[in-house]
Amino acid sequence: MRVVILGSGRGSNAAAILEAQHAGRLGRARVVQIIADKPEAKILELGARFGVPAAFVDPAPFKTKLEGEGEARFIAAVRDANADLVVLAGFMRVLKPGFLNAFAGKIINLHPSLLPSFPGLDGIGQAFRRGVKITGCTVHGVTAEVDGGPILNQMAVRIEPFDTLESLAEKIHAAEHALLPAVIAGLSERV
């Protein structure tokens, strides 16, 4: 299963996927391309570190969504990689119908809450401020509804009375780094 990772930032979840691949824990999946929407994104540095092609693709003209010419460039880049699975790993753009239709049923996202609770931005902060006792992370299929696609798997994280927002974020990131590669490995065995 050929995997393309889309990201916008530091790439910690992409690194977890690539480390799982290096350790033989990614099933029949293989990351074949890393694509970032920001030329300075640290995720691009993972390419050289793990021997995977990494490229910036210009998302213009919009800042928070993929649409128009930027969307067309992303579709072309993912098609060129012959992707079986597109993994959104910290990709901070809303996908529009053109991209969603081009890769229908082949896009997954990682979200830092137990969906359907706390969708959208700052899922960790939302859960912390709400005072819930259990939160976590979710891997879900991507649809037109933001964070509303079918849930593939989740991992719970307990919020302890002594947790701070920072300590909770660390615990959720650790859970994400375990969950996302496991879901990809599971999907690869079904192909």
Catalytic residue check, 111: yes
Q: Which of 111, 140, 173, 177 is catalytic?
A: 111
With helix as H, strand as E and coil as C, how does the chain read? Answer: CEEEEEECCCCHHHHHHHHHHHCCCCCCCEEEEEEECCCCCHHHHHHHHHCCCEEECCCCCCCCEECHHHHHHHHHHHHHCCCCEEEECCCCCEECHHHHHHCCCCEEEEECCCCCCCCCCCHHHHHHHHCCCEEEEEEEECCCCCCCCCEEEEEEEECCCCCCHHHHHHHHHHHHHHHHHHHHHHHHHHC
Phi, psi of 98, deg, nearest 5: -60, -50
Instruction: Please identify every residue annotated as catalytic.
Output: 111
